[in-house]
Amino acid sequence: MNMVLEIKNLHASVIDETAEDSRKEILKGVNLSIPAGETHVIMGPNGSGKSTLSYVLSGHPSYEVTEGSVTFKGQDLLVMTPDERAATGLFLAFQAPVELPGVNNANFLRTAVNSVRKARGQEELDPVKFLKLVRELAKKLSFSTDMLKRNVNVGFSGGEKKRNEVLQMTLLEPSFAILDETDSGLDIDALRIVAEGVKSLRSPEFSSLIITHHQRLLDHIQPDYIHVLAKGRIIHTGGPELSRQLEAEGYGRLVGEADA
Amino acid sequence: MHKNSEESKDTGLSSLLSRVKGKNTSSEQEKAIRLLSEAGLPSRRVENWKYTDLRWFNQHQFVKPVPVNTQQVQEWLEENVFPLPNLSELPRLIIANGQIIKEFSTLFDDSNCQIDIKDGVYGSLGRLQKDIMTTLNYAIGQQTLQLTISKGQQAGTILFVYLGYGQNDGLVSFHHRLNIELQDHAQLSVIEMNAGCGEYFTNPVCEIKVGPRANFEYNKLLNSSLESYNCANLYVSLADHATYRQFLISKGSKFSRQEVYIDINGEWSNASFQAVQKLADRQHADITTVFSHLVPHCQSDQNVKNILTDQSHGVFQGKVFVHQKAQKTNAQQQNQALLLSDQAEINTKPELEIYADDVKCSHGATVGALDEDQLFFLMARGIPFHQARDILINAFVAQAVEDVNDPIAKQLLKEQLGVEVVEDIT
Q: Which chain A residue lies closest to B386 (C-alpha atoms)? A: A83
Percent of chain A with pLDDT over 90: 65
Euclidean distance between CA atoms B121 and B29, whole angstroms:
8
pLDDT tens digits, one per residue of A52-78: 999 999 999 999 999 999 999 999 999
Contacts of A63 in chain B (CB under 8 A): none
Phi, psi angles (nearest 5°) of residue B269? -100, 170
pLDDT at B9 over 60: no
In the prediction, which pLDDT does B419 show?
Answer: 65
pTM: 0.82
Least reliable range by pLDDT among A217-221, B258-262, B357-361, B387-391: A217-221
For residue B419, the chain A residues in CB contact (below 8 A) are: none
**Would you state the pLDDT for residue B5?**
46
pLDDT tens string A164-192: 999 999 999 999 999 998 888 788 887 88
- ipTM > 0.90? yes
Torsions phi, psi of B418, nearest 5? 75, 15
- Helix ranges (DSSP H) in A59-157: 82-88, 105-119, 127-140, 146-149
Mutate which of B378, B389, B392, B399 to disrupt the A interface (most A C-beta within 10 Å)?
A: B378
- Which helix (H) or strand (E) covers residue A54, if one does? helix A50-58
CA distance B401 to B396: 11
| Distance between CA atoms of residues B231 and B180, nearest Å | 19
Cβ-contact B236, B272 below 8 angstroms:
no
- Residue B239 Rama label (left phi>0; alpha psi -120 to 50; beta): beta
pLDDT at residue number B32: 92
Write out pLDDT tens, residues B403-425: 788 888 888 888 887 765 555 56
Judge: A98–B371 Cβ closer than 8 Å, yes or no: yes
Domain ranges of chain B: 64-372, 373-426
Work out the widest C-alpha separation in chain A, in whole angstroms: 61
On whether any CB of chain B is under 8 Å from the CB of A148, the answer is yes
CB contact under 8 A, A60 and B376: yes
| Mean pLDDT in residue range B51-75 | 93
Q: What is the DSSP letter of A2?
A: -
- Tell the burial category of A24 from Cβ atoms under 10 Å away from its Cβ (0-12, 13-18, 19+): exposed
Q: What is the mean pLDDT of residues A79-92?
A: 97
Chain B residues with CB-CB distance to A130 below 8 A: 425
Task: Answer whether B381 sits within 8 Å of A115, measured CB to CB.
Answer: yes
Domain boundaries, chain A: 1-89+176-181+203-208+219-260, 96-173
Chain B CB contacts of A131 below 8 Å: 425-426
Of all residues in chain B, the one with the smallest CA distance to A149 is B426
Q: Which fold is adopted by the domain A1-89+176-181+203-208+219-260?
A: Rossmann fold (3.40.50)
A120 close to A87: Cβ distance less than 8 angstroms: yes
Residue B172 near residue B200 (C-beta atoms within 8 A) = yes
Helix axes B385-402, B372-380, angle to 10 degrees: 120
Query: How many whole angstroms separate alpha carbon B308 and alpha carbon A2?
Result: 49
Nearest to A102 among B376, B383, B396 (CB): B396
